[in-house]
Chain A
Amino acid sequence: MSDSTFVPSFVNRRSFIELNGRARAQSLLDEGTGKELVGPFDRVESPWLPMQDAVPQADDGCIVLKGRIAGNPVVLISLEGAFQGGSIGEVSGAKMTAALDLATRDSSAGTPTAAVLLLETGGVRLQEANLGLAAVAEVIASILSLRQHAPVITVVAGTVGCFGGMSLAAGVSSYVVMTREARLGLNGPEVIEQESGIEEFDASDRALIWAVHGGEQRVGMGLADALVEDSIDEISSAVRKYVLAGKPAQHRSEQVPLYRERIAALDTSKQIDPLTLREQWSLRDSQGGAR
């Protein structure tokens, strides 16, 4: 038995979270197939940030690569969490909708083109407020249009997570892949604490945050599909699996009666224990529920 047998796997693991938005996108495509569209050298920047003395970025924090995964045409859209918290402005939003709509056009013309969304975002960029909100509505519309023809796969790796209006983009996706470090929810802890008080949500309670929004919980409840390690290989193979699987027979956001019934069954007289709810919902799944 060689010494290498005793090297724990995480030592050789190539981290995905440590990559920036562009490198993340490139790491998932078949080698040599990625071409960036409306890249930083096209210099389409936010016109609204400089008016407020904020520094724009040449790619507006949104990277679009057209390429292939397992030989299949895909478009990969990656949000850079390090720029403005991955928030959606006019330009980054327009990149997403344009890329999704072109994938829809190719898909309905006979070349199914899946979309992979790497979402690290707090949602609407408040410096572009209403154009950001409008852009999020259009991104949701474009995902819903594409997913009739080809799968839309969302990856939330961390550490920003996926919040605000963009959590709806994850909600309407065909598949959602998460790590344990990732979080997914409509309102982040700080916003809830600010709006509804610390008794409602203590934003400094990290155990509570991950118990509610964390990847293990979301996948365990059936609100996301795959829990993966922070590893390029694991994320890559999950994405590949869903590209090859094609679109699901029914999307999660279409399963209205199931979820309405689940909400009706909640005891709202006190806060809901995340672990108990996970057990209840996952039990239903194993009996032929959501997935």
Chain B
Amino acid sequence: MSEHVGLRGRAWFQALAGKDQPRTGDPGSVLTAEAQVCSETAIFLCVVPNPDSRFPCVRDGQVGLEEAYALATRIREAIDDDRDKPKAEKRPIIAIIDVKSQAYGRREETAGIFLAAAASADAYASARMAGHPVISLVVGRAFSGGFLTHGYQANRILAFDDSGVTIHAMHKEAAARITRRSVSDLERLGYQIAPMSYDVRDYAKLGTLHKLLHVNNPIEPTESEIVEVKQAIADAVADARTGAEDLGNRLNSPAAKETRKAGRTVRTLMEKQWVTA
């Protein structure tokens, strides 16, 4: 992939939220804004690269300490503001995702990045459990701890059907090294084993994705594509409002029934054995 991580995130945040500057007090890497999605106001959040960050290990678009706590702050503000509203009026929270990974740095580990990541995941999940529809739109990369921190707690996940979109636990070179394989072996396994694949169409087979969206060039959204993507977000919001506030849909979707058979067997057995234990 020749293109820099984060360009797509910024482009789509600009396209959907109408601005691309951070809020006062937030790091340059965290963009949040309110904007209309069809007939209602939603809150958009995006993490973008900040070459000037005071943390060296986040400058290429990784999610670090400041990013995680800024996201958590903005999401918790929304939860508090909408606390007394009926469920149907709680604002949708839309995460736009194009993140390389979590930050791999000593400063981050020393200051407890695991808690920062947990605080952000907690905020997203708390919004979902409070009745906010939480929708993730993967426009580029969604890797590992970066995705766990920013977006993986959503009720519904949308992604572009595009070769530059990758959702994965670890980038190819590192995954190959750790599992003691060559990158070409890893790619070959990816064709045969859906959870190993770096292709978003294989990711769609796992059952965790709500829908793939088609755009011609994800780095340059057109007017008509913006309208279509907004409509897809609004549909996902409506779908989330009719569903449960947990992540059960990811195990019960038609694709999950095919791919996650072992996980579904575990659940059935556990439920049966639990009541007699």
Contacts and interface: CB of A to CB of B under 8 A. Distances in A.
Nearest to B64: A263
Interface in A182-234: 184-187, 191-192, 194-196, 200-201, 212-213, 218, 221, 223
A86 B118 CA distance: 20
A138 B125 CA distance: 10
Contacts of A260: 69-70, 72-73
Contact of B69 (A145, A184, A252, A263): A263
B273 A38 contact: yes
Nearest to B144: A133
Interface in B101-120: 101-102, 104-119
A142 B195 CA distance: 22
Nearest to A192: B104
Contacts of B266: 38, 44, 91, 94-95, 98
Interface string A89-118: 011011101110110000000000000000
B193 A48 contact: yes
B109 A168 contact: no
Contact of B246 (A98, A145, A164): A145
Given A191-B174, A192-B106, A266-B107, A52 B69 contact: no
B54, B169, B264: residue with the most chain A Cβ atoms closer than 10 Å: B169
Contact of A165 (B105, B112, B148, B153): B148
Contacts of A95: 266, 270
A185 B114 contact: yes
Interface string A38-55: 100010111110011000
Given A187-B104, A196-B57, A257 B122 contact: no
Given A131-B206, A131-B260, A141-B246, A167 B195 contact: no
A223 B113 CA distance: 10
Nearest to B273: A37
B257 interface: no
Nearest to A85: B178
Contact of A263 (B116, B123, B169, B264): B116
A274 to B, nearest CB: 5
B213 interface: no
A141 B119 contact: no
Nearest to B265: A44
Contacts of A51: 192-193
A179 B76 CA distance: 33
Interface in A244-267: 251-257, 259-260, 262-264, 266
Residues of A contacting B: mostly: helix
Bin chain A's interface residue count.
Answer: 35 or more
Interface of B: 54-57, 65-66, 69-70, 72-73, 76, 101-102, 104-119, 121-123, 125-126, 129, 144-145, 147-149, 152-153, 167-170, 174-175, 177-179, 189, 192-197, 203, 206, 208, 246-247, 250-251, 259-267, 269-271, 273-274, 277
Interface of A: 35, 37-38, 42, 44-48, 51-52, 64, 66, 90-91, 93-95, 97-99, 101-102, 124, 126-138, 140-142, 144-145, 148, 164-165, 167-168, 170-172, 184-187, 191-192, 194-196, 200-201, 212-213, 218, 221, 223, 251-257, 259-260, 262-264, 266, 268-269, 271-272, 274, 277
3 closest cross-chain pairs (CB), A and B: A171-B118, A94-B263, A167-B114
29 contacts: A37-B270, A44-B262, A44-B269, A90-B260, A97-B267, A102-B274, A127-B196, A129-B175, A129-B195, A130-B167, A130-B194, A130-B203, A133-B144, A133-B168, A135-B263, A140-B125, A168-B121, A168-B145, A172-B121, A186-B109, A187-B145, A195-B104, A200-B57, A212-B109, A223-B112, A253-B119, A259-B116, A266-B107, A271-B110
